[in-house]
Amino acid sequence: MGSINIFAGGYGCGKTELALNFAMNTDSKGQDVVLADLDLVNPYFVSRQQKAELKAHHVKLLAPFNNLSYGDIPQLPPQLLAEIQRENQLLIDIAGDDTGGLVIGYLHRYLQQRNPVNLWLVINPYRPFAQDLNGIIELVKLFEDASRLHFTGIISNPHLAEETTVDIIRRGHQQVLEYAEALQLKVDYLTVREEFYEQLIPEFGSLLKSIKIYTRPLWLQED
């Protein structure tokens, strides 16, 4: 079976952007690419808002539907268990708190049938929950206890939206590296917007991954 990649993290860490980017750039290896939007906590910046873009990239979207698409009722897509148990490349966008952990905990015995399962902690150190190590440790403990899974790695996603600079990325990434050392987790990727990629690739090499912004608020798109 193909891999399962789970993106979890605190509010505003950027996990939805990363799930979208990874889904649309996944090497399918001849298998279906499926993105499961299971963020049942924050209904505003969610993968399901980009349904048309995902379809154009041949990514199958699983998400709550109809009048529950943007509600707070914990509803899992009915096809989810079937997709976990078949050949595909499955990506999951999940809230990084204990609510998200409980969803993964419910799926735990099915996820165990797949290999590999990457559970990534997405960290933007400029977000409130991630500005000190104790906050990160608390989030990790809540999620892991509820999900019965351990994080396998970290994705460093340091930015300050439109105020982001190369120096902001460097400083933030250094903070993430310090968190990673304390958590005894490897940083698998450093993600940056496309305009910073060429400047930073000589410094960070294969660790660096360029991403496109899909969930940018409309008020930031105005000239």
Would you put residue 98 in left (φ > 0), alpha (ψ -120 to 50) or beta?
A: alpha
| pLDDT given for residue 68 in this prediction | 44
Left if phi > 0, otherwise alpha if psi is -120 to 50, otherwise beta: which for 57? alpha
Task: Kindly give the interhelix angle for 194-204 and 166-183, rounded to the nearest 10 degrees.
Answer: 60
| Residue 176 CB-half CA count within 13 A | 27
The tens digit of pLDDT for each residue in 151-181 reads 999 999 999 999 999 999 999 999 999 999 9
| Domains, the chain, ordered by start | 4-221 (3.40.50.300)
Question: Quick check: 55 pLDDT over 80?
Answer: yes
For residue 222, the model assigns a pLDDT of 43
Angle at 187 (CA atoms; ends 141, 85), nearest 5 degrees: 70
Closest CA to 135 of 119, 121, 149, 153: 121
**Token code pair at residue 11:** 């509010």
| Distance from C-alpha of 149 to C-alpha of 4, rounded to nearest angstrom | 13
Joined tokens for residue 179: 């968190």
Q: In which region does residue 202 sit, left (phi positive, over 0), alpha (psi from -120 to 50) or beta (all else)?
A: alpha
Report the run of H or E that residue 106 belongs to, with start and end: helix 98-111
- pLDDT value at residue 83: 95
Q: How far apart are CA 166 and CA 186, in angstroms?
A: 22
* Beta-bridge partner residues of 6: 92, 119
pTM: 0.90
In this prediction, residue 163 carries a pLDDT of: 95
Classified as helix, coil or strand, 66 is: helix
Q: Which of 69-78, 88-97, 194-203 has the lowest mean pLDDT?
A: 69-78
List, edge to edge, every strand of the sheet that includes 88-95.
Answer: 59-62, 32-37, 88-95, 4-9, 117-123, 153-156, 187-193, 208-211
